[in-house]
């Protein structure tokens, strides 16, 4: 029997299509991959040494102490939003607009052209997470920035077009509706129950155990009970914290190990799937609060949405979250 399941945080329902569910190994991704066998590519705009060929505006770098960089942030060449535009809200009748003010950066994660975070050294993953934190803290000092989205697109189906490992940072002059709804639902839960709904979710998931992927000193990852797609997972800090930017150095190190474990299990278990991951944090203007809990969501792109999803805002998940988690737990990544 199929089953409808609700995400307790967002109140969103999904259909877990048990009748036609595939087994975890059926999701081994054989689609064309965005990969390269070159550590340096003369045609890559992000490889060190190609700066003259592909000029870009560097915003920030983590120096290697030898004139080079370990992580670098540049302005996106085709930015969705720009800090050079004056923030301007306009309304005429029902027609409301804001000028395209904001920030759109590309964070180049490593000088090496063809490495995947699942195969990177843990200390190099830590440099990426540390860089996210530094960039978000800096960007939030700007006027009229309400929300910052940090995300990674990996592979064609996740929207990437360049092999060179990179993430993106988009700072917005508004709080997106989707974010606002989630924060408001979390606030309502806190008002009703006096506890953070994410903390409650974490303790219930640990109690049941069947959807846990990995537990480290400061983080827990699990496939969501109401996963909207196969292997849809969260990595949550164990200690309540509403803002990603409050992460400590010790937690950065632990998260790096943890993220590498989850990505490596996906990489090995279902053959380097395309995926997005997103850092979800409380909006700046809500301050440090007791009701929202930051986390990373990982969404492998193994299914496609169509008319039903557009018509309902709901998803049909053709896999069983407990089986996906069990499968990931069993993937041995000791050789990666
Ligand atoms: Zn490159
Ligand atoms: Zn919490």
- The backbone torsions φ and ψ at residue 278, rounded to the nearest 5 degrees and listed phi first, read -140, 135
Domains by residue range for the chain, with CATH: 3-330 (3.30.428.10)
Cα gap 133→127, rounded to integer Å: 10
**Non-local CB neighbours of 164 within 8 Å, separated by 6+ positions:** 41, 44, 45, 46, 47, 108, 113, 114
Helix (H) or strand (E) holding 134: helix 122-139
pLDDT in tens, the chain (336 residues): 899 999 999 999 999 998 777 889 888 888 889 889 999 999 999 999 999 999 899 999 999 999 999 999 999 989 999 999 999 999 999 999 999 999 999 999 999 999 998 999 999 999 999 999 999 999 999 999 999 999 999 998 999 989 999 999 999 999 999 999 999 999 999 999 999 999 999 999 999 999 999 999 999 999 999 999 999 999 999 999 999 999 999 999 999 999 999 999 999 999 999 999 999 999 999 999 999 999 999 999 998 888 989 999 899 999 999 999 999 999 999 988
Q: Residue 230, Cβ neighbours under 10 Å: how many?
A: 25
Which ligand is closest in space to the CA of residue 290?
2
107 Cα–ligand 2 center, Å: 28
- Looking at all shown ligands, the one closest to residue 293's CA atom is 2
CA 285 / ligand 2 centre spacing (Å) = 18
Predicted TM-score of the model (pTM): 0.96
Catalytic residue ranges: 166
Ligand 1 ion local residues (Cβ < 5 A): 41, 44, 46-47, 113, 164
Q: Report how far ligand 2's centroid is from the alpha carbon of 312 (Å).
A: 29
């Amino acid at each position: 029997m199929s089953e409808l399941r609700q995400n307790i945080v967002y109140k969103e329902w999904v259909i877990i299509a048990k009748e036609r569910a595939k087994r975890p190994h059926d999701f081994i991704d054989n689609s064309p991959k965005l990969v390269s066998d070159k550590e340096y590519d003369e045609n890559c705009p992000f490889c060190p040494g190609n700066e003259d060929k592909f000029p870009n505006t560097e915003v920030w770098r983590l120096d290697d102490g030898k004139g080079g960089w370990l992580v670098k942030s540049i302005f996106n060449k085709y930015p969705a939003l720009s800090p050079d535009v004056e923030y301007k809200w306009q309304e005429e009748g029902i027609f409301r607009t804001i000028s395209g003010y904001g920030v759109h950066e590309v964070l180049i994660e490593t000088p090496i052209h063809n490495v995947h975070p699942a195969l990177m050294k843990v200390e190099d993953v830590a440099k990426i997470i540390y860089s996210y934190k530094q960039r978000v803290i800096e960007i939030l000092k700007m006027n009229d920035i309400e929300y910052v989205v940090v995300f990674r697109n990996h592979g064609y189906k996740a929207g990437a077009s360049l092999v060179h490992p990179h993430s993106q940072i988009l700072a917005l002059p508004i709080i997106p509706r989707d974010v606002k709804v989630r924060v408001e639902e979390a606030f309502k839960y806190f008002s009703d129950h006096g506890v953070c709904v994410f903390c409650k979710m974490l303790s219930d998931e640990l109690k049941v155990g069947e959807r846990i992927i990995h537990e480290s000193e400061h983080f827990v990852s699990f496939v969501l009970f109401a996963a909207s797609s196969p292997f849809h997972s969260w990595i949550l800090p164990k200690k309540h914290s509403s803002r990603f930017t409050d992460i400590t150095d010790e937690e950065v190190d632990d998260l790096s190990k943890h993220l590498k474990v989850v990505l490596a299990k996906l990489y090995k278990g279902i053959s380097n799937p395309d995926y997005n991951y997103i850092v979800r944090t409380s909006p700046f203007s809500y301050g440090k609060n007791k009701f929202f809990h930051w986390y990373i969501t990982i969404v492998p792109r193994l299914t496609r949405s169509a008319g039903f999803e557009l018509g309902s805002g709901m998803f049909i998940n053709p896999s069983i979250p407990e089986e996906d988690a069990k499968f990931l737990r069993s993937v041995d990544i000791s050789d990666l």
